[in-house]
């Protein structure tokens, strides 16, 4: 039924070819970030370049694809890569994007060239398909700014959220979930870094908001445990107080990471994530997929099964 509906939408949109899960073959892609803008969904991904049997992530660039129907995806190529950040040396890991004042702000994980460990940079463009340029000339978050954990990768996985009142927030972290306000210029923190104690939190914090019964409901989703599954909290504001709501997507046995983005488009709700269901896939050769779901009447999210190949 879902496929038939999508096909109808695709034809209305002038489909070139239909895509099914997992998306974007033959590329291996991971860590989806989503922006809905101008009647299109822009889906940003990292690109897994590890060889078969590789033992670590090999990721140099981010890709962007767009769709007006959730079926046909246009490949816009590589809007930025690690070299966009002159202060970074490697590892184009997870990212997130938001539009503000007509500009597109892309927050991303990279390995810092001189400060040991990972860092978060911010790039800006006049178009969602780039090109993006470094918006600061230096990292927004570096590993030496926060000392809650002694691991080099606790400052990864930015999730950016712009609230209706104009206040922007950045959420990030591995093992410890951190957040901070952003200044209106989107390139500086506004106030101290806060730590949010979330049991079994691993990484990939992501904030989205909906109206439920006339009131704003904020959803803070994240990866928990390792291998990872996706869980979420809800609250009445971007800073809580938070109520744990349980698991919305189970781990996939082919890869221990999952990394979600949750969004609405044309009146329907979707979750983007990655698994490793493309032929030849694995822990370091992942593939982005999307599932449609419906919120319950009380605003809570259902458990969403992954498409299996």
Residues that bind ligand FUB (CB under 6 A): 30-31, 46, 57, 93-94, 109, 156-157, 203-204, 257, 259
User: What is d(CA 192, CA 52) in angstroms, rounded to the nearest whole number?
Assistant: 43
Rounded least distance, CB 11 to ligand FUB, Å: 34
Comparing CB distances to ligand FUB, the nearer of 226 and 303 is 226
**Residues near 107 by beta carbon (within 8 Å), at least 6 away in sequence:** 95, 96, 97, 120, 121, 122, 140, 158, 160, 170
Q: Which residue in 138, 136, 177, 185 sits closest to 156, CA to CA?
A: 177
Comparing CB distances to ligand FUB, the nearer of 32 and 130 is 32
Comparing CB distances to ligand FUB, the nearer of 156 and 162 is 156
On the CB side of 18, CA atoms within 13 Å amount to 11
Rounded least distance, CB 37 to ligand FUB, Å: 23
Comparing CB distances to ligand FUB, the nearer of 21 and 167 is 21
Rounded least distance, CB 159 to ligand FUB, Å: 10
Rounded least distance, CB 93 to ligand FUB, Å: 4
**Residues near 22 by beta carbon (within 8 Å), at least 6 away in sequence:** 275, 277, 278, 281, 287, 288, 289, 307, 309
User: What is d(CA 219, CA 238) in angstroms, rounded to the nearest whole number?
Assistant: 8
Cβ neighbours around 3 below 10 Å, total = 10
Comparing CB distances to ligand FUB, the nearer of 128 and 173 is 173
Rounded least distance, CB 274 to ligand FUB, Å: 7
Contact 120, 109 (CB under 8 A): yes
Residue 295 sits at the vertex; the CA angle it makes with 237 and 288, to the nearest 5 degrees, is: 95
Contact 44, 24 (CB under 8 A): no
Rounded least distance, CB 204 to ligand FUB, Å: 5
Backbone angles phi, psi at 67, to 5 degrees: -150, 145
Comparing CB distances to ligand FUB, the nearer of 69 and 224 is 224
Rounded least distance, CB 94 to ligand FUB, Å: 4
Comparing CB distances to ligand FUB, the nearer of 93 and 179 is 93
């Amino acid at each position: 039924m879902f496929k038939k509906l999508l096909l109808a939408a695709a034809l209305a949109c002038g489909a070139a070819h239909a895509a099914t899960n997992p998306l974007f073959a033959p590329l291996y892609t991971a860590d989806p970030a989503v922006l809905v803008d101008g009647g299109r969904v822009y889906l940003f991904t990292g690109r897994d370049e590890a060889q078969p049997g590789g033992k670590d992530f090999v990721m140099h660039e981010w890709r962007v694809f767009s769709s007006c129907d959730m079926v046909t995806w246009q490949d816009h190529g590589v809007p930025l890569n690690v070299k966009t950040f002159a202060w970074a040396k490697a590892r184009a890991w997870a990212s997130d994007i938001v539009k503000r004042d007509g500009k597109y702000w892309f927050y991303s994980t990279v390995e810092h060239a001189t400060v040991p460990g990972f860092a978060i940079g911010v790039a800006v463009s006049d178009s969602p398909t780039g090109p993006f340029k470094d918006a600061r000339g230096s990292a927004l978050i570096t590993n030496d700014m926060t000392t809650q954990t002694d691991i080099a990768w606790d400052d990864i996985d930015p999730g950016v959220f712009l609230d209706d009142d104009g206040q922007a927030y950045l959420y990030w972290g591995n093992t410890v979930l951190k957040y901070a306000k952003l200044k209106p210029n989107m390139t500086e923190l506004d106030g101290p870094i806060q730590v949010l104690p979330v049991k079994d939190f691993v990484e990939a914090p992501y904030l989205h908001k909906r109206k439920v019964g006339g009131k704003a409901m904020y959803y803070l989703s994240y990866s928990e445990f390792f291998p990872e599954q996706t869980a979420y909290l809800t609250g009445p504001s971007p800073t809580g107080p938070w109520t744990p709501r349980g698991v919305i997507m189970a781990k996939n046995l082919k890869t221990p990471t999952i990394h979600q983005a949750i969004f609405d488009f044309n009146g329907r709700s979707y979750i983007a994530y990655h698994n490793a269901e493309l032929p030849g896939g694995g822990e370091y050769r992942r593939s982005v997929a999307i599932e449609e779901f419906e919120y319950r009447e009380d605003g809570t999210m259902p458990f969403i099964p992954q498409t299996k190949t």
